[in-house]
Copies of this chain bind each other. A is one copy, B any other.
Amino acid sequence: MKFFKVPEPTIMRLSLYSRILEQMEERGIPIISSVELGDAVGINSGVVRKDLSMFGEFGVRGVGYNVRELRDNIRKLLGQDRNWPVIIVGAGHLGSSLAAYPGFTQRGFNIEAIVDSDPALAGTTIQGHPVIDWAGAEQLIKEQGVRMAILAVPPDAVQSVAQRMIDLGIEAILNFSPIILKVPAAKAQVQNVDLTVFFDLMRFTSNLNEQEGLRPQSSSLRGLAVR
Name A207's contact: one of B15, B79, B100, B221 (CB within 8 Å): B79
Chain B residues in 8 Å Cβ range of A92: 97, 100
Which of the 9-residue segments A3-11, A27-35, A115-123, A128-136 touches chain B?
A3-11
Contact B12 A42 (CB under 8 A): no
Q: Does chain B have a CB within 8 A of A94?
A: yes
Chain B residues in 8 Å Cβ range of A56: 225-227
A89 to chain B, nearest CB (A): 14
Q: Does chain B have a CB within 8 A of A63?
A: no
Contact A203 B19 (CB under 8 A): no
Chain B residues in 8 Å Cβ range of A97: 92-94, 96-97
Name A189's contact: one of B18, B96, B205 (CB within 8 Å): B205
Residue-wise interface mask of A (55-90) relative to B, using a CB-CB cutoff of 8 A (1 in contact, 0 not): 110000000000000000100111110101000000
How many A residues touch the partner, as a band?
35 or more
Question: Chain A contact residues: over half helix, strand or loop, or mixed?
Answer: mixed
- Would A223 and B16 be within 8 Å (CB), given that A41-B180, A97-B93, A201-B191 are in contact? no
Contact A78 B203 (CB under 8 A): yes
Name A198's contact: one of B191, B200, B216 (CB within 8 Å): B191
Contact B226 A76 (CB under 8 A): yes
Contact B16 A222 (CB under 8 A): no
Alpha-carbon distance A205/B8, docked complex (angstroms): 10
A83 to chain B, nearest CB (A): 11
Contact B107 A77 (CB under 8 A): no
Chain B residues in 8 Å Cβ range of A186: 214, 216
Contact B77 A226 (CB under 8 A): yes
Chain B residues in 8 Å Cβ range of A206: 79, 84, 147-148, 171-172, 189
- Would A204 and B77 be within 8 Å (CB), given that A3-B212, A6-B221 are in contact? yes
Interface of A toward B, CB cutoff 8 Å: 1-8, 11-12, 14-16, 18-19, 40-42, 54-56, 73, 76-80, 82, 84, 92-94, 96-98, 100-101, 103-104, 107-109, 147-148, 171-172, 174, 178, 180, 182, 185-186, 188-191, 193-209, 211-212, 214, 216-217, 219-227
